[in-house]
Amino acid sequence: MHFKLVQQRSLPLEPQTEWLWYSNQSSSFIIGDERAAFAVPISNPSTFAALPSAHATQESHPCNLPIPISLYDEFIQDLWHGFKFLERSAYDHAIDSAGHLIGDLLRTLVFGPDYQHYLLHPPSGLILSLRSGKIELLQRTGETFKLLDQTKTRGRAALAFAAHPTESTIAYGDNFGTFHAHKFDQTKFGKATKIAAKDRKASRLEFVNAGKTLVIGGMGYLASYSYIAGKFAPLHDSSISVRDFTWLEGGNLILVNQGMHGISAFSYGPAGFTKLAEIKPGGAVQQIAVSKCQKYLAASFQESPDLFIYSIQK
């Protein structure tokens, strides 16, 4: 397996608030900041098109990606760390006790889930509001949201969250590398259990293989745990730096954003993580996105408005 650079371009965006996503509807990578967004088609990545914004007259709205409604409607069909975002109109009714709208989608995507942005937990149908130190459980009835329960996150400040695909369970990792799982039911939060203590900052986790495996990543580690009958057990561990990762279902392939160390591809199987290829683009990678066909990879960067697009050749 190897990667081939097919396009490198600079866009008029602020790297500090850049986000990146792939739209199957338009066969394009969508990249933007808080003011503008562009579509870069994989059929001709040397071109790009500016996108109209749905929130031009409502900049304080929680759904603040500057993209048209049609693209947002597509965006929310995808899972995000096991959760789903709600339709845009639902956030008109996400209001705190002072009457202010709750949530910030753009910063949730860029910096992590510490903005109370309401997320649907698909298996239970309940809504979760995530902060580094607190989780809220809500019930949605019509246009209203009712607070059912709230709890403090265990450990220190939680930085990354993931939802189980079939159970009322979420997992999270904190800035000291401690990972916990937290159960809940239709009315309240239940027991929290410790999964691992890695002693270094957590950055990403995801339930994969139909929820039977939890993959975690952080500063200096990529590890997996089995999840059977409500219990976690260590499987495999690799000593690499992880800023983020993308798990590609169907091929047990994981693409790891290593920040200043580039991007690496690993296969995952009974023997653990096996490195297949790597990219050293010459800058600290901010975000990565993969096309639905799994033939193209895009990368944005922390300190420049560049977008690199690679073909994935297996």
Q: 3-class secondary structure for 147-212?
A: EEEEEECCCCCEEEEEECCCCCEEEEEECCCEEEEEEECCCCEEEEEEEEECCCCEEEEEEEHHHC
Closest CA to 156 of 136, 129, 131, 176: 176
Q: Which two tokens stand for residue 218?
A: 């952080």
How much is the average pLDDT of 138-149? 95
Rg, the chain, Cα only: 19
Average pLDDT, rounded, for the chain = 95
**215-260, pLDDT tens digit by residue?**
999 999 999 999 999 999 999 999 999 999 999 987 789 999 999 9
Number of domains within the chain = 1
| Continuous segment of H or E residues that includes residue 263 | strand 263-269
State whether residue 77 is helix, strand or coil. coil
Residue 56 has a pLDDT of 52
Residue 60 has pLDDT above 90, yes or no: no
Tell me how far apart the alpha carbons of residues 40 and 298 are, in angstroms, rounded to a whole number. Answer: 10
Distance CA 148, CA 52 (A): 38
Closest to 185 in 3D by CA, of 170, 195, 172: 170
Question: How confident is the model over 93-107, as a mean pLDDT?
Answer: 92
Average pLDDT over residues 18-44: 97
Starting at the edge strand found earlier in the chain, the sheet holding 169-174 runs 158-163, 169-174, 178-184, 189-197
Q: Are 254 and 215 in contact (CB under 8 A)?
A: yes
Contacts of 229 (CB under 8 A, 6+ apart): none
Give the three-state DSSP class for 72: helix
| Predicted structure pTM score | 0.94
- 256-291 pLDDT, tens digit each: 999 999 999 999 999 999 999 999 998 999 999 999
Q: Decide if pLDDT at 307 tops 70.
A: yes
Q: Is 165 exposed, middle or buried (0-12, 13-18, 19+ CB in 10 A)?
A: middle
Q: What is the pLDDT of residue 245?
A: 98
293: which DSSP letter?
T
Full residue range of the structural domain in which residue 193 is found: 2-313
Q: What is the CATH number of the domain that holds 266?
A: 2.130.10.10
Integer angstrom CA distances of residue 198 from 191, 247, 265: 21, 21, 22
Confidence of residue 57 (pLDDT cuts 50, 70, 90): very low
| Residue 55, pLDDT score | 66
Any idea what DSSP says for residue 92?
A: G
For 30, the 3-state DSSP assignment is: strand
- At 152-174, the pLDDT tens digits run 999 989 999 999 999 999 999 99
